[in-house]
Amino acid sequence: MKIVIVGGVAAGAGAAAKARRTDETAEIVMFERGNYVSFANCGLPYYIGGVIEDRDELLLVTPEMFKSRFDVDVRLNTEVVDIDPKAKTVTAAGPDGKQYAESYDKLVLATGGKPLVLPIAGSDKAGIYNVFTVPDADRVTARLEADTRSVVVVGGGFIGLESAENLRAKGVEVTLVEKLPQVMSNMDPEFSDVLIREMESLGIRVLTGVGVEEITGADKAEGVRLDSGETIPCDLVIMAAGVRGSTELAQKAGLRIGETGGVWVDATMKTSDPDIYAAGDIVESVHLVTGKKVRVPLAGSANKQGRVAGACAAGGKLTFRGVLGTAIIKVGGLTAARTGLNTREAQQHGYDFETILVPGFSNATYYPDAMPLLLKLTVQKQTGRLLGAQGIGRKGVDKRIDVLSTAIFSGLTVFDLENLDLAYAPPFSSAKDPVITGGMIAANMVRGEMDYVSPRDIQTYLDDPAYVVLDVRTQEEWDDFHLEGAVLLPVDELRDRYGELDPAKKYVVYCAAGYRAYNACLFLRSRGYNVKNMGGGMNAYHMNV
Amino acid sequence: MKIVIVGGVAAGAGAAAKARRTDETAEIVMFERGNYVSFANCGLPYYIGGVIEDRDELLLVTPEMFKSRFDVDVRLNTEVVDIDPKAKTVTAAGPDGKQYAESYDKLVLATGGKPLVLPIAGSDKAGIYNVFTVPDADRVTARLEADTRSVVVVGGGFIGLESAENLRAKGVEVTLVEKLPQVMSNMDPEFSDVLIREMESLGIRVLTGVGVEEITGADKAEGVRLDSGETIPCDLVIMAAGVRGSTELAQKAGLRIGETGGVWVDATMKTSDPDIYAAGDIVESVHLVTGKKVRVPLAGSANKQGRVAGACAAGGKLTFRGVLGTAIIKVGGLTAARTGLNTREAQQHGYDFETILVPGFSNATYYPDAMPLLLKLTVQKQTGRLLGAQGIGRKGVDKRIDVLSTAIFSGLTVFDLENLDLAYAPPFSSAKDPVITGGMIAANMVRGEMDYVSPRDIQTYLDDPAYVVLDVRTQEEWDDFHLEGAVLLPVDELRDRYGELDPAKKYVVYCAAGYRAYNACLFLRSRGYNVKNMGGGMNAYHMNV
């Protein structure tokens, strides 16, 4: 048995190790076009920023170790340029440029991705860098130490945001430009607003809804001209417009390409050719909510897929179930995370759903360092099934997203959520964790006990003469800030004073987080009033985290 | 409709609020024997230690608020002393001692618990305190400010450990005494060892396996005499030997008491009397793994049960599913947590199971502040069903336990665990989160790909001449520390040097965390050797966290 693996980073390296564990007698060859195997690509922005001080920390595994421990023949700086599936050979171009054939019994394609190159004039100038490989990071680091005072980062995704923050931490002027109207386009827009606020507080200029027309400068980048007309002078440009899976080789080999443009695989990561497996950024995966194929090029999936591909190529039995698109990012002191379907995705897939905003705290508010956080749940209306979740805050967001991801993986409904048995002690949570509170709020909605209005739509109600927007907080909170056009009637005076409210009007009730408004709504409804609750209250309105 | 609620802390207060939300027209009366409703009992040790500075923070809700917001008639310092289920009345003894009858249509019993009083000579002396109510905490605080230099804490559960730490933080000499051989008896013994080490590092003396015979002193406590013969002088004794549910009232009313000694309830929290509901520390609940009834007197369950009891008493429809006994404690910089069945519980219930030790890190090791943690999974052998989980470490343990609790709640197997889509970025996790790694290790075990030996049993193998204990770490790690009697053969030399190993012997292989040993085992097995892996390696052996 001879197993050939194309690509030696996350998926490829994992496949090689697992193939060896599955078949001790196989011959295993791993080709890698770069100079490193299994490096920590997610750490690169932090290495540039000096958060990770030791470059060696990024190099998880060496080719020598692959040889001694796994008896894997690693061939660096070698690109596989062709596959002949009938002859079962690949054509490799070695470091010296010479091409040679290598036969295989089973082939694993883990060619990964390459940074997307935008069709921008001047893209070929010097001084334009990606943050994708260790040499990329070395080049940027060298330029930072030399002459760089200002940088434009193009792209507002993971690498763009992390790079912007880390460059700023090095004392450089940073402008981030994103063509879409928001950053982190895999989250709902209000989360982007909070992230931009945080980046601005770090001294980063953020421009959204603005495209790049040209990289200006004689030979090297000296500025970025935007479609807004503005030109931002800079010493360096970071291109972080996303990653495109390197599917060329798979396509040349005639492998089936799915409707998403990714390589089609079954649950064992086998392609349409029974002797070829694929894993990582090039494949499409089953989405565990929709059942549809999607492409989610993230490290967690790549690792799991590589393990399955390596095992199955070597004759073992493992399956990869699919993805939820779970993802997380740190920006300054904030954490933003998502799993399952966001609002746009739930719409695209035609779900009848509601979103629920849940302001909460990382831990018991009476214990020190409790920090506010906001969860947003996407919930199927009839069934109460949890379709997706997003969260943002300064502490404990990663925990809640992982719990919610596990809940979605398990097909839980909001009626299940409100029954979870989560760990409570004051330093870690509240007696009702925000996930459980979210389940309760969502369950009330699905049961038809409460109607919610999004804080994003509140102006419509403020402008509508048929509606009164009722603030049930205290006078003190009202004085501090309130919605222009709202009416104050504190919840604790409502039972005595509700007669002041015109029963001919309809009411949208708000408080700080939604709980007092919930109680007020139920009371008013029992008195015959038409009421809705502004979900998440002022905390969600301001996105206070 | 008149709803009477007996008890106004976690379950009772929640029941009152939910009953009001469910039926706006009901008359609701809530009796509380103490002076406070809905106070933060889990915060009391931290108030004593000064971590929570403001006493008002403990008082979540006032009776006035219950009146104005929920129209609930709260009667403080009033103990319900009898129930007449036929007449549907309760007898209450007010603050003036006078008794009166109060009728009900629906009754909710949330009488909670009382600190267990041990049959110890001298228990009636002055200077012996509980940490159970706000007045308890006030009394201890007053004594700390006055004359206290040394304290003995009796009991090594949540309140005992938290009280010991917080008293020590006030500069007092603290000795903790526990009759059982370990502290935190709801976790496996090795977790207790780590917690004791941490307490000792805080300067707390911890004695386990030692009973208290007498509280010495003339009128007030001046020492604690142990069954070891030693007498520990002290100014103050904290009794934290556990809580006993106050089921007397329920028993007097003739309500069905379950086999656990707790009040029997159905999923709507209804007792054997169709007009009486019960919630909190007095009831028994369904264990979500075993399906058997258990008593888990914790705040999270009490809150959820109270909500269900309040809703159902008022004619609504909610159910409480059951418990997993999820619990968490902070000791110094450590977090220890558990959910589902520990080893002892899995044995008691006759499961055919294996435990898996998983050393891991809070986040990517190449990112700053990655902290080691240890998970222990209880896994059913044939099915791979996750029965329980425990964890200990300095960071990120709460997250993993909540994910594992959600997994157990959902009935997941270890084959599911290895497929979870958890959030990864370097500050939050690794590409393979410890939960996923744990799933993979456990799945390998269930699939029969690997045999594990517990680090706790390793001496047996070291002593057995039929076995060789093989250390596959580096010479450097070996020089630093190794098991006496083990043999060194680094994994990266194994392919060249395995011929040195006697095939007639059996082998137990270990490394630092189990991964190198796993690879070594698979290699050696392919060469015909009989091998087992010491699960969790040296990290689990030392319980390094």
Which of chain A's residues have a Cβ under 8 Å away from the Cβ of B365?
57
Task: Give the count of beta carbons closer than 10 Å to the beta carbon of residue A213.
Answer: 16
Structure tokens at A402: 């992982």
According to DSSP, residue B121 is labeled B
What span, in angstroms and rounded, lies between the C-alpha atoms of B341 and B348? 10
For chain B, domain boundaries: 2-112+244-313, 128-241, 333-446, 452-542
Q: Are B421 and A399 in contact (CB < 8 Å)?
A: no
Q: What's residue A482's pLDDT?
A: 98
> Which class is domain B333-446?
alpha beta
CATH of domain B2-112+244-313: 3.50.50.60
Task: Give the count of beta carbons closer than 10 Å to the beta carbon of residue A97.
Answer: 7
pLDDT in tens, B438-495: 999 999 999 998 999 999 999 999 999 999 999 999 999 999 999 999 999 999 999 9
Which of chain B's residues have a Cβ under 8 Å away from the Cβ of A402?
399, 402-403, 422-423, 433
Does A74 reach chain B within 8 Å, measured CB to CB?
Answer: no
Q: What's residue B53's pLDDT?
A: 93
Measured between CB atoms, which of B70, B426, B518 is closest to A46? B426
What part of B 342-381 touches A (C-beta under 8 Å)?
364-368
Which of chain A's residues have a Cβ under 8 Å away from the Cβ of B330?
425, 427-428
Catalytic: which of A42, A234, A511, A521?
A42
Packing angle of the helix pair A515-526, B10-22 (nearest 10 deg)? 40
Q: Do residues B295 and B260 lie in contact, with contact meaning Cβ atoms separated by under 8 Å? A: yes
Which of chain A's residues have a Cβ under 8 Å away from the Cβ of B495?
68, 71
Q: Do residues A397 and A361 lie in contact, with contact meaning Cβ atoms separated by under 8 Å? A: no
Structure tokens at B429: 């996790």
The domain made up of A2-42+51-113+244-313 is a member of CATH 3.30.420.40: no
Does A323 reach chain B within 8 Å, measured CB to CB?
Answer: yes
Q: Do residues B198 and B214 lie in contact, with contact meaning Cβ atoms separated by under 8 Å? A: no
Q: Do residues B378 and B389 lie in contact, with contact meaning Cβ atoms separated by under 8 Å? A: yes
pLDDT in tens, B139-154: 999 999 998 999 999 9
According to DSSP, residue B498 is labeled G
Closest residue, chain B, to A39 (C-alpha) = B366
Task: Give the count of beta carbons closer than 10 Å to the beta carbon of residue B98.
Answer: 8
Domain A128-241: what homologous superfamily? FAD/NAD(P)-binding domain (3.50.50.60)
> Which class is domain A452-542?
alpha beta
For the beta sheet containing A467-471, the strands, ordered from the edge strand earlier in sequence to the opposite edge, are A452-453, A530-534, A506-510, A467-471, A487-488
pLDDT-flagged residues of chain A (< 70): none
Does A103 reach chain B within 8 Å, measured CB to CB?
Answer: no
Per DSSP bridges, beta strands A487-488 and A530-534 are: unpaired
Q: Do residues A226 and A262 lie in contact, with contact meaning Cβ atoms separated by under 8 Å? A: no
For an interface test with B, the pick among A406, A413, A414, A447 (most B C-beta atoms closer than 10 Å) comes out as A406
3-class DSSP state for residue A66? helix
Q: What's residue B220's pLDDT?
A: 94
Q: Are A368 and B300 in contact (CB < 8 Å)?
A: no
Does B169 reach chain A within 8 Å, measured CB to CB?
Answer: no
Q: How confident is the model at residue B517 (pLDDT cuts 50, 70, 90)?
A: very high
Measured between CB atoms, which of A60, A320, A406 is closest to B407? A406
Q: Do residues B311 and B22 lie in contact, with contact meaning Cβ atoms separated by under 8 Å? A: yes
A400: CB partners within 8 A, 6+ apart: A373, A375, A389, A391, A433, A434, A435
Q: How confident is the model at residue B160 (pLDDT cuts 50, 70, 90)?
A: very high
**Two domains, one topology: A2-42+51-113+244-313 and A128-241:** yes
Q: How confident is the model at residue B353 (pLDDT cuts 50, 70, 90)?
A: very high
B86: CB partners within 8 A, 6+ apart: none
What span, in angstroms and rounded, lies between the C-alpha atoms of B42 and B255? 29
Q: Identify whether B312 is a catalytic site residue.
A: no
Q: Do residues B176 and B165 lie in contact, with contact meaning Cβ atoms separated by under 8 Å? A: no
What part of A 413-442 touches B (C-beta under 8 Å)?
416, 418-429, 431-433, 435-436, 440
For an interface test with B, the pick among A421, A522, A523 (most B C-beta atoms closer than 10 Å) comes out as A421
3-class DSSP state for residue B318? coil
What span, in angstroms and rounded, lies between the C-alpha atoms of A332 and A489? 38
* Phi, psi of B8, rounded to the nearest 5 degrees: -125, 25
Please state whether B59 falls in left (phi above 0), alpha (psi between -120 and 50) or beta.
beta
Measured between CB atoms, which of B69, B421, B427 is closest to A405? B421
Measured between CB atoms, which of B321, B337, B495 is closest to A71? B495
3-class DSSP state for residue B190? helix
Q: Are A426 and B42 in contact (CB < 8 Å)?
A: yes
DSSP H helices, B130-272, are 134-146, 158-169, 189-201, 248-252
Does B444 reach chain A within 8 Å, measured CB to CB?
Answer: no
Does B71 reach chain A within 8 Å, measured CB to CB?
Answer: yes
Q: Do residues B244 and B113 lie in contact, with contact meaning Cβ atoms separated by under 8 Å? A: yes
Residue A322: burial class (beta carbons within 10 Å; 0-12, 13-18, 19+): buried
Q: What's residue A360's pLDDT?
A: 96
Q: Which residue has the tokens 């059913």?
A: B380
The 8 Å CB, 24+ separation contacts for A54-60 are A55/A134, A55/A138, A57/B365, A57/B366, A58/A134, A58/A137, A58/B366, A59/A134, A60/B366
Is 90 exceeded by the pLDDT of residue B61? Answer: no
Q: What's residue A60's pLDDT?
A: 80
Which of chain B's residues have a Cβ under 8 Å away from the Cβ of A57?
365-366
